Amino acid sequence: MVINLKSVFIKYCKDKESFNFFKAMGANVIELENPEEIDKNIEKLYKNNCKRIILTNEIAGFSEDIIKKYNSLKNISIIIAPKK
């Protein structure tokens, strides 16, 4: 199986609303059981040449590296999706 790592969506596993449309369309949606592992997941995706990561606002609140580490990089975009 080939996974397209151009865009990845990340949400908390207990969040039953966010990114459902994208998941139904076959997008890569990661559901974290432990939100505190967000930085490890972002690092792993970055090392695998992921170009765009879209996070829920809830998950983004657990990251210390989003601004500090990835904000100035040109080869990756991290987008924080607002809650409805």
The confidence band for 64, taking pLDDT boundaries of 50, 70 and 90, is confident
Do the domain assignments include residue 32?
A: yes
Burial class (CB in 10 A: 0-12, 13-18, 19+), 75: exposed
What are the pLDDT digits (tens) for 15-52? 999 999 999 999 999 999 999 999 999 999 999 988 89
Question: Torsion angle, CA of 80/32/7/43, rounded to 10 degrees?
Answer: 90
CATH of the domain at 74: 3.40.50
Do the domain assignments include residue 2?
A: no
Do the domain assignments include residue 1?
A: no
Do the domain assignments include residue 30?
A: yes
Do the domain assignments include residue 77?
A: yes
Kindly state the percentage of the chain with pLDDT values over 70. 93
Domain count, the chain: 1
Write out the residue range of the structural domain in which residue 58 sits: 7-81
Kindly state the percentage of the chain with pLDDT values over 90. 62
Identify the pLDDT of residue 69.
84
Do the domain assignments include residue 15?
A: yes
Identify the pLDDT of residue 70.
82
Please tell me whether residue 12 adopts helix, strand or coil conformation. strand
Which pair of structure tokens corresponds to residue 83?
């809650």
Question: Torsion angle, CA of 2/22/43/79, rounded to 10 degrees?
Answer: 140
Q: Would you say residue 11 has pLDDT above 60?
A: yes
